[in-house]
Amino acid sequence: MKKRARDATRPKAVVLLSGGLDSTTCLAVALRDGFEPHALSVDYGQRHKEELRRARRLADALGASDHKVVKVDLSAFGGSALTDARLRVPKGRREKEMAKEIPITYVPARNTVLLALALAHAETIGAKDVFVGVNAIDYSGYPDCRPEFIRAFERLAGLATKAGVEGAKLRIHTPLQKLGKADIVRLGTSLGVPYKLTLSCYDPARGKACGRCDACTLRRHGFEAAGVPDPTVYVSTRS
């Protein structure tokens, strides 16, 4: 995407953008709240790389100031169905089943790595704000989506950076932290988020959402509960 002209009236913010429903809504919130968003996506060796292509389109469509894609290959470690092709992505699970334990789609230290990269980008461009679309309601099996983790990372930022030592406090915004998926869909719809361009699937096929992984199930149920038509093209919606 082309870099847009700097708007000196708006504070800069780094927005972690995966190309999914939550992170895209988060970008729209940053714009609504008067920030100049600098989108950051991470190619971490995920099997669902289609989301990176979606992120590029979404950053441009929503008007991000610029968009960077950084490569950090977590597939070198594996340990997750999202980074190790030998592990199967769970399909056809009920929401109660999803919430029983930390799922195999958890990527070890992913949000720690992503936030560290966002912190580095923010310090480099002089931003004091980072937006991330973590959510601890719909299914909080991921330990690095909890409010305690976000607050701890804010404290770390104050200790680990030149900007922090010199008194520039970094704030991590988590506007979706306590919203259910239906609430997120309603919020994004009110802000004009082009959900048709987003992809939340863990195991897409030929650019289409599988329709049966945990992420697809939660997304589909979110649109249903919100009473908003789901523009997603699913390969299957069979339970």
State pLDDT tens for residues 100-125: 788 899 999 999 999 999 999 999 99
User: pLDDT band for position 140 (50/70/90)?
Assistant: low
Average pLDDT of span 166-189: 94
Q: Which amino acid is at 87?
A: L
Q: What CATH number has the domain spanning 12-89+107-195? A: 3.40.50.620
Residue in 113, 103, 102 with CA at minimum distance from that of residue 43 = 113
pLDDT tens, residue by residue, 50-75: 999 999 999 999 999 999 999 999 99
Whole-prediction pTM: 0.92
Residue in 57, 56, 140 with CA at minimum distance from that of residue 102 = 140
pLDDT tens, residue by residue, 123-137: 999 999 999 999 876
- The distance from CA 107 to its chain's CA centroid, rounded to whole angstroms, is 13
User: Which pLDDT does position 180 carry in this prediction?
Assistant: 92
| Tokens (6 digits) for 183 | 């609430």
Average pLDDT of span 159-176: 91
User: Which pLDDT does position 99 carry in this prediction?
Assistant: 76
Query: 15 with 175: CB under 8 angstroms?
Result: no
